[in-house]
Amino acid sequence: MKKLSAFVLAIVLCGVGARGWGQAVPALADIKSQQELTTAIATLDKELFDAYNTCNLDKLSTLVVDDLEFYHDKTGLAVGKQVFLEAIKNNICGKVTRKLVEGSLEVYPLHGYGAVEIGVHRFYHPGTQDHDVVGEAKFILLWQYKDGAWKVSRVISYDHEVAK
């Protein structure tokens, strides 16, 4: 089990701020080590959830496949990019932000496909991330590398509970 150290996460998070809309992570074939894969997926996670947290639906749409499958323990299965974007727009924007729980990220290669990302995240009411935790859940994301881009193809979000 490979966990991302706080040190590597800090380097990744500091290094992505100047990036534009294009992905600055290596192609799947160019990733030669577990550390490189973990760094790439941590970068993509930050990019995905920065768009989620700021309600940047245009950016978010570039990071998921058209036939996205999203499995949620409370709401069931949702299929399709547009269904996902509408759910974010109607249920998340301005209401909830997400933060990855430090030290929870695990990344594993999926040969010829991409990677699986596993972790825990917390949800907050906007503007109160230090004090008003809404809840916590575990997640699994399948990242597919295809046609020169990394995109989320499958999501499983489970074990949602009220924050303690």
CATH number of the domain within which 129 lies? 3.10.450.50
In 3D space, the residue among 33, 50, 38, 39 whose CA is nearest the CA of residue 12 turns out to be 39
- Token code pair at residue 107: 């990344």
- Residue 130's pLDDT is 59
Domains in the chain, number = 1
- Residue 4's pLDDT is 34
Other beta carbons within 10 Å of 34: 12
- Residue 128's pLDDT is 62
User: Which range of residues forms the domain containing residue 106?
Assistant: 6-162
- Residue 10's pLDDT is 30
Question: CB of 8 within 8 A of CB of 37?
Answer: no
Question: CB of 36 within 8 A of CB of 96?
Answer: no
Q: How confident is the chain (164 residues) per 10-residue block, as mean pLDDT?
A: 32 33 83 97 97 97 98 96 97 93 97 97 78 88 97 97 78
β pairing state of 76-79 and 97-100: unpaired
Chain centre distance of CA 86: 17
CA–CA dist 97, 123 (Å, integer): 6
- Residue 12's pLDDT is 31
- Residue 132's pLDDT is 77
pTM, rounded to two decimals: 0.83
pLDDT in tens, 110-134: 999 999 999 999 999 886 655 577 8
In 3D space, the residue among 82, 68, 84, 86 whose CA is nearest the CA of residue 152 turns out to be 68
In 3D space, the residue among 59, 57, 85, 56 whose CA is nearest the CA of residue 70 turns out to be 85
92 found inside a domain: yes
1 found inside a domain: no
| Phi, psi dihedral angles at 79 (to 5 degrees) | -120, 130
- Residue 108's pLDDT is 98
